């Protein structure tokens, strides 16, 4: 067993508390070097639960990065603060794992990628759906080849989400806070990049959101497979699973991530409409467990991680191109960004 790497977690309330409890604390790869939060009560609670001494409970991230002797930081704060905290961490020589979205602008994301190269440190984005057992099963099934050529794909996601105050105030709400998962899944599942998008985002009167909570988009990919996407975070009624509902249309049948009679999972339907549920990929590192394991391995092996900052620039660019397409009413090529 390797000696555990020392990790500071920035953001220990709400979602961050759950990540700390269920993923970081039991991780075989990381031990807490400290935690950072603006809320002293959240800090004291985390210290008591995870055995972190009082002098390693910080309200100022710069002090934490300078004093705690950490190898890396996990950033679980609200997304508008990702850039400034990640930049400080890199300047202090730490490796960085950032909750999605990477940053709110491409300029900020590129700046962090360049700084990480200069500092010889890793940036990884927590696109945890790539490590989800169902998503990995879907990827394996799509690569099987038995159904012939892949013609197109469609994805939908509907759920009612009562956003936090910062989410209600931010631009590109649905794209950066939720669609970031599904658009990254397109790139991961098809082993391709998105080259152009024709999209529309919109809002409802009196929704309480400044940014749009609905999106409809058509994505062109380098693989030549168009992907059609429809999503809403004001979808009252029956919610979709977080990974969404997907159909991949092949020449000789279709592959689905859906419930086709035997629970939510991956199904294959041939031309005669015979439907078989795929057996899941065996994994003991599902979701964020897999993210943390990959992040640690990349540090120890001195290599770029899967879902590096540089890789995730392409997902972020696709999201922001969707917003630009909606504003300008035209197809936007990603090389314009």
Q: CA-to-CA distance for 307 and 297, rounded, in angstroms? A: 13
Q: Is the peptide bond before 234 cis (omega within 30 degrees of 0)?
A: no
302 within domain boundaries? no
189 within domain boundaries? yes
The predicted pLDDT at position 315 comes to 98
Dig out the tokens for 310 from the structure.
Answer: 């540089």
From edge to edge, which strands make up the β-sheet containing 275-277?
A: 275-277, 264-270, 253-259, 245-250, 150-158, 227-232, 214-221, 194-202, 332-333
Q: CA-to-CA distance for 77 and 82, rounded, in angstroms? A: 7
292 within domain boundaries? no
Percent of the chain with pLDDT over 90: 96
85 and 163 belong to one structural domain: no
The answer to whether residues 16 and 50 touch, using CB atoms and an 8 Å cutoff, is: no
Q: CA-to-CA distance for 270 and 284, rounded, in angstroms? A: 31
311 within domain boundaries? no
231 within domain boundaries? yes
pLDDT digits (tens, 9 = 90+) for 75-97: 999 999 999 999 999 999 999 99
189 and 55 belong to one structural domain: no
325 and 196 belong to one structural domain: yes
pLDDT over 90 (residue 4): yes
DSSP summary character for residue 324: H
113 and 161 belong to one structural domain: no
DSSP summary character for residue 268: E
The predicted pLDDT at position 14 comes to 85
pLDDT over 70 (residue 1): no
Q: Rg for the chain (alpha carbons), in Å?
A: 20
pLDDT over 90 (residue 284): no
The predicted pLDDT at position 2 comes to 79
177 and 325 belong to one structural domain: yes
The answer to whether residues 266 and 138 touch, using CB atoms and an 8 Å cutoff, is: yes
Beta strands in the chain (DSSP E): 5-10, 30-36, 57-58, 72-75, 95-99, 123-126, 150-158, 194-202, 214-221, 227-232, 245-250, 253-259, 264-270, 275-277, 332-333
138 and 68 belong to one structural domain: no
**By residue range, what is the domain housing residue 30?**
5-121
pLDDT digits (tens, 9 = 90+) for 38-81: 999 999 999 999 999 999 999 999 999 999 999 999 999 999 99
pLDDT digits (tens, 9 = 90+) for 204-216: 999 999 999 999 9
pLDDT digits (tens, 9 = 90+) for 117-146: 999 999 999 999 999 999 999 999 999 989
187 and 40 belong to one structural domain: no
pLDDT digits (tens, 9 = 90+) for 245-268: 999 999 999 999 999 999 999 999
Number of domains in the chain: 2
| Domain closes at, from 104, 121, 138 | 121
DSSP summary character for residue 56: G
The answer to whether residues 287 and 87 touch, using CB atoms and an 8 Å cutoff, is: no
What integer is the mean pLDDT of 158-185? Answer: 94
Identify the CATH number of the domain in which residue 58 sits.
3.40.50.720
């Amino acid at each position: 067993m390797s000696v555990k790497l020392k990790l500071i977690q920035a953001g220990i309330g709400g979602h961050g508390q759950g990540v700390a409890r269920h993923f970081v604390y039991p991780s075989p790869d990381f031990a807490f070097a400290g935690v950072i939060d603006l809320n002293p009560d959240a800090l004291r609670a985390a210290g008591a639960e995870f055995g972190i001494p009082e002098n390693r409970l910080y309200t100022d991230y710069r002090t934490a990065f300078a004093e705690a002797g950490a190898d890396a930081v996990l950033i679980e704060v609200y997304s508008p603060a990702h850039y400034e905290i990640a930049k400080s961490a890199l300047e202090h020589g730490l490796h960085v794992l950032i909750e999605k979205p990477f940053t709110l602008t491409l300029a900020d994301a590129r700046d962090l990628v360049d700084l990480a190269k200069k500092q010889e440190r890793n940036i990884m984005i927590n696109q945890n759906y790539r490590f989800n057992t169902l998503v990995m099963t879907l990827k394996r099934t799509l690569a099987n080849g038995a159904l012939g050529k892949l013609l197109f794909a469609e994805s939908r996601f509907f759920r009612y989400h009562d956003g936090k105050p910062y989410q209600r105030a931010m631009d590109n709400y649905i794209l950066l806070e939720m669609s970031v998962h599904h658009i990254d899944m397109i790139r991961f599942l098809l082993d391709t990049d998105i080259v152009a998008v024709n999209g529309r985002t919109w809002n409802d009167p009196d929704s309480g959101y400044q940014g749009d909570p609905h999106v409809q988009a058509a994505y062109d990919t380098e693989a030549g497979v168009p992907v059609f996407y429809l999503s809403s975070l004001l979808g009252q009624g029956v919610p979709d699973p977080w990974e969404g509902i997907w159909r991949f249309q092949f020449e000789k049948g279709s592959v689905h991530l859906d419930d086709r009679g035997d629970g939510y999972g991956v199904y294959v339907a041939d031309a005669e409409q015979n439907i078989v549920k795929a057996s899941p990929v065996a994994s003991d590192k599902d979701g964020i467990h897999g993210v943390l394991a990959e992040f640690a391995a990349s540090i120890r092996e001195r290599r770029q991680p899967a879902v590096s900052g540089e890789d995730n620039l392409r997902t972020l660019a696709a999201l922001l191109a969707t917003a630009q397409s909606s504003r300008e009413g035209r197809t936007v090529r990603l090389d314009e960004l």
